[in-house]
Amino acid sequence: MKLFLDTANIDEIREINRWGVLGGVTTNPSLIAKESSDPDRVWKEILAEVDGPISLETTELEADAMYEQGVELARMAPNAVVKVPMTPDGLRAGKRLVQDDIRINVTLVFSPAQAILAAEIDAYIVSPFLGRLDDVASDGMDLLRRICEIYQVQGYETNVLAASLRHPMHVVEAAAAGADIATMPYAVFRQLVRHPLTDIGLETFLQDWEGLQKELKEGA
Ligand code: G3P
């Protein structure tokens, strides 16, 4: 499973990219708005920083306008992936973009039926939102498992991207469910690496090492 960052903040992206585990980035209009900067500049910086797929979201609602916007976004760089919403217009625009060999990410997916539609237009990525389902007392992980199962049974090649992840166990369970990609906020990425026993173990190892150095120096 590839690990993506769900952010438009270039400092967060650069930091995690240095770890060598960053497979790509997902952005959405809310994340772009948080940066209070020109969206084109923000997208270009991210596209240049990370080698993997970078999702850039359309904001037009009508199919023709969404398609035109998608073409423009795709032109920004070869690693750009165009996000379209799961709406009838999103499907129409998405299908045209796919026919132009542009990779698309169908976003705001909350049901297996919607995921089937995304696969039927040959989307590169489908993005079920797990955390937002959990927020309304529904089971986001159950949705992800059902989508992975349906895609396997049907032989769909669309990549399943677990989105709206809120904590490390979401990431672990998404991997067990068979998701192709998990996208997460910076804070969750950092939580993945931390374990108190790692910190305690490292501290003990270093103390013992220093003790040995002292012993050898005194014996010399
Ligand atoms: O980028 C799409 C998705 O991951 C948004 O997550 O936390 O706003 O529900 P969230």
Q: Supply φ then ψ for residue 57, to 5 degrees.
A: -95, 140
pLDDT at 220: 78
What is residue 20's predicted lDDT score, i.e. its pLDDT? 97
pTM: 0.95
Contact 83/58 with Cβ under 8 angstroms?
yes
DSSP string of 91-118?
HHHHHHHHHTT--EEEEEE-SHHHHHHH
163 DSSP 8-state letter: B
Q: What is the pLDDT of residue 97?
A: 98
Whether 34 is catalytic = no
d(CA 188, CA 167): 6
> Which CB contacts under 8 angstroms, 24+ apart, belong to 164-169?
164/129, 164/130, 164/131, 164/132, 164/133, 164/140, 165/6, 165/130, 165/131, 166/130, 166/131, 166/134, 167/191, 168/192
Q: Which of 6, 63, 53, 64 is nearest to 186 (CA)?
A: 6
Q: How confident is the model at residue 203, as a pLDDT? A: 98
Q: For a substitution probing ligand 1, which of 7, 27, 28, 59 has the most ligand atoms within 8 Å of its CB? A: 28
Going 27 to 31 to 35 to 36, the CA torsion angle's sign is positive
Mean pLDDT across the chain, nearest whole number? 98
Query: Which amino acid, residue 4?
Result: F
Q: Is 6 in the pocket of ligand 1 (CB under 6 A)?
A: yes
Tens digits of per-residue pLDDT, 141-169?
A: 999 999 999 999 999 999 999 999 999 99
Q: How far apart are alpha carbons 95 and 117 in whole angstroms?
A: 11
Q: Is the CB of 131 inside a 6 Å radius of any atom of ligand 1?
A: yes
Residue nearest ligand 1's atom 8 by CA: 164
Atom of ligand 1 nearest to the CA of 183: 4
CB-based contact 180:160 (threshold 8 Å)? yes
The residue ranges of the chain whose pLDDT is under 50 are none
Distance CA 188, CA 168 (A): 6
Interval between CA 152 and ligand 1 midpoint (Å)? 25
Ligand 1 touching residue 132 (CB < 6 A): yes
Give the pLDDT of residue 34.
98
